Amino acid sequence: MSNRDEFSQSTKNRVAARAGWPCSFEGCTQGTHGPSAESPEAVSNIGVAAHICAAAPGPGARRYDKTMSREERSGIGNAIWLCANHATLIDRDEVTYTAARLRAMKAAREKASEEEQRSGKGASLFAIGPDIVCTGDLAQVTSGSWTLHLKHFVAGDRHELVGLLADLPAVRLKTGIYFKRAGRWPGPLRSASPRDGGRELHGDVPGRPARSAHRRAEAWERLRVAPRNKGPLC
């Protein structure tokens, strides 16, 4: 049995999602997820949930802190999302890359991710029906239609999405897709197709007036979920 205090897959997914999926190393803009040519739905991941303080003592264990509990060592507070290059670099020089410096990088990246989401420059959260929440980009909204590129699951998973899409005629009647910052609230699904390791969804914009900012905020409060990221759409 290993004595390393490793991160769970859930912790890895959540630290990546909180960073917005790019590397958290200062000055690095490297994306960590993209399409793979192995199949139309395959995803290539070069991201690493790295330990700020080493997972176990021993030779090469950088920034190991014996005062930490096993739960703290394997918890999200001890994780930073990095590209493979910088995950290696920080474990070659603990003098330069101290725990305090890595935590500062992580905090800066999460703040930037939050600002990107608020400003519309980064990926946004989208709720699909009652059980699925994803990050993605609103590619296009016209007076009569919308296109959404989904990237990663926050709640629900690919199987739930496939089940929803398999019943498109019913979905068209009863399921809306709600956009966090849209002036108009796009309506039901019309079609879906694979795109760049994710899914591209298409639908119609109903001819109704925009909801007030107050009503949009109330609706999103009802849809808000705890950060329990399920990972890429693969």
Same domain? 30 vs 83: yes
Backbone angles phi, psi at 233, to 5 degrees: -80, 70
Same domain? 175 vs 213: yes
> Is the confidence at residue 220, as pLDDT, over 60?
no
Same domain? 148 vs 202: yes
Same domain? 158 vs 87: no
Same domain? 103 vs 13: yes
In this prediction, residue 65 carries a pLDDT of 95
In this prediction, residue 53 carries a pLDDT of 96
In this prediction, residue 155 carries a pLDDT of 66
Same domain? 130 vs 74: no
In this prediction, residue 183 carries a pLDDT of 43
Task: Kindly state whether residue 37 falls inside one of the protein's structural domains.
Answer: yes
Q: What's the per-residue H, E or C state across the chain?
A: CCCCCCCCHHHHHHHHHHHCCCCCCCCCCCCCEEECCCCCCCEEECEEEEECCCCCCCCCCCCCCCCCCHHHHCCHHHEEEEEHHHHHHCCCCCCCCCHHHHHHHHHHHHHHHHHHHHHCCCCEEEEECCCEEEEEEEEEECCCEEEEEEEEEEECCHHHHHHHHCCHHHHHHHCEEEECCCCCCCCEEEEEEEECCEEEEEEECCCCCCCCHHHHHHHHHHHCCCCCCCEECC
Task: Kindly state whether residue 1 falls inside one of the protein's structural domains.
Answer: no
| pTM recorded for the entire structure | 0.54
Number of domains in the chain: 2
Domain boundary among 117, 142, 160: 117
Its domain, for residue 133, covers 124-232
Task: Kindly state whether residue 17 falls inside one of the protein's structural domains.
Answer: yes
Domain boundary among 102, 117, 132: 117
Same domain? 91 vs 137: no
For residue range 48-104, list pLDDT tens digits in order: 999 999 999 988 899 999 999 999 999 999 999 999 999 999 999 999 999 999 999
